[in-house]
Structure 1
Amino acid sequence: MKSIALFFVLFFCFSGCKKADDGLDMKISEIKLPPKEASAANTFYDKAESNTQTKEIPQNIEQKIIKEGNLRFETNDLTVTYTQIQNAVKSYNATIQNDTEGKDYQSVFRRIIIRVPSENFDVFIQSISKGVVYFDNKEISSQDVTAEYIDIDARLKAKKVLENRYLELLKKATKVSEMLEIEKQLSNIREEIEAKEGQLNYMQNRVTFSTITVEFYKPIAEQSGVTASYGMKIWTAIKSGFNSISTLFINLLSIWPFIIFLIAIIYFIRKRFKTKKT
């Protein structure tokens, strides 16, 4: 009788452990990543807060606006214009991100990329535009990314709630296979969390600091202050003609074997015609 009683005790213990393990496995299988096609609000509130009442997205949300500007104009003095831009950068807490100087066929130019706090965007444009008669190019753009920002933020919160669920299951896991499976899911979720945090940080940085590209130039003729006279133009034409003759002579030297061959053919043809006439 004692052996039979011991048998039933072991049987019930084994059955209880098995049911607990099966229950844990079912919990693991029931937790799934939110579908990508689901909306941000449904993803967050249906998955992340299934045990609480559904919340509504607040109506008074701070707008996320990305502002950018692109200016190009002519100036009489590159140094004075650059100094004016530097003063504006200091006054409005901006930063010069890139500064490029160059020279093309008709002008010398300077191109500056500036990051300025978004609240100072308009006054900064006005400050660096003082003294400009007209703009060759002036583009001001504003992009509203509020909806995109809210969507990414809601998905990020849902991933963090899902991460906490797996951490709770990890504490209850007793088998190595269960621990490995949970840690694998946690690794995938954390990668997605880091990616979405990176997207939010990048977007917030573009919202907080606007980008302005300023290019100003000065024609080379005005910079040098030299006007070519009629005699100078004649002398330039003579030099150009001499250079052309020199180039032709050099090209002829490069094909001298063909020239000798052509001269020989002409010589024999003329000699043959003279023989026929005689």
Structure 2
Amino acid sequence: MTLRDIEIFVTVCELKSMSAAAKKLYMSQPAVSQAISQIEGEFQIKLFDRIGKRLSLTYPGEILYSYGRRILNLVKEAENILYDVRNMRMGRLNVGASTTVGIYLLPKIIGDFREKYSVDVYFTIDNTAGIKKLILDNAIDLGIVEGPVHSRDIVVIPYIDDELYLVSSKNHRWAEKRSISPEEIENEDIIMREKGSGTREVFEQTMARNNVRYKIKYVLNSTEAIKKAVEANIGVSVISRLAVEKEIKDGRLVKINIENMRFERKFSIIYHKDKFRSNLFEEFIKHLYNYIAK
């Protein structure tokens, strides 16, 4: 018994005529009669009593009619929901972001997007390696990360530029100098994010490229915790400008320039190469760029 068979049966029940049902469904009357006979033969039951020219439902026919109407109503409901999803009147998107983007940028972007569309946008915050794994496991639709991504199965689209600032406490000896030579970093206690963090990878790559030695003394997996530790003059750190602009403006942290050295990177939008790019998916990516342009 197919969905089409159910539709034919319910139409016959409602119109109480096979010829009327055939006309409504743009079918021949023998084809309608054949569909009813197939159901009856499949289950070895009678759906109608045929008395003269009148069709009356049997008990099995009444049961099938009750279920048939519910089934067709559910199909119609499913169709309406899918149309709503297609036209972004409803929907769901799962977004992942590495720590800096997830804390300091993504919530504002999602809030702005939900003002335009009545959709659910869920987001997960992890380090770059964690977001990459979620993409590969198809646990999220797309991610925004701050570190390099190395995978043939992941599409990487450049998003926005970022710079990491070397920051110290206002009480640190560097605070008044505001500029140091690379060699001065070598003996300093550095507070850094964990392995797998995009911030750490950019820091290590930049230091290696400039042949500068360094000493990571403390490892914390929270940018906020690192900022508090630097503010307490426990050590210095390299943190995204997005995360420290307020503290620098308030004078709680000091940006230290390094001669001939900058920690630069690019945030990227990533998704699996086999991911279906729905209307909602495409619209969210467009919104990401429009938000930054504003």
TM-score bin (small chain): under 0.3
Looking at secondary structure, tell me which structure has more helix per residue.
Answer: 1
> Which is higher, the Rg of structure 1 or of structure 2?
1
Using the size of structure 2 for normalisation, the TM-score is: 0.21
Which structure dedicates a bigger proportion of its chain to strand? Answer: 2
TM-score, length basis structure 1:
0.22
- By relative contact order (CA 8 Å, sep 6+), the higher-ranking structure is 1
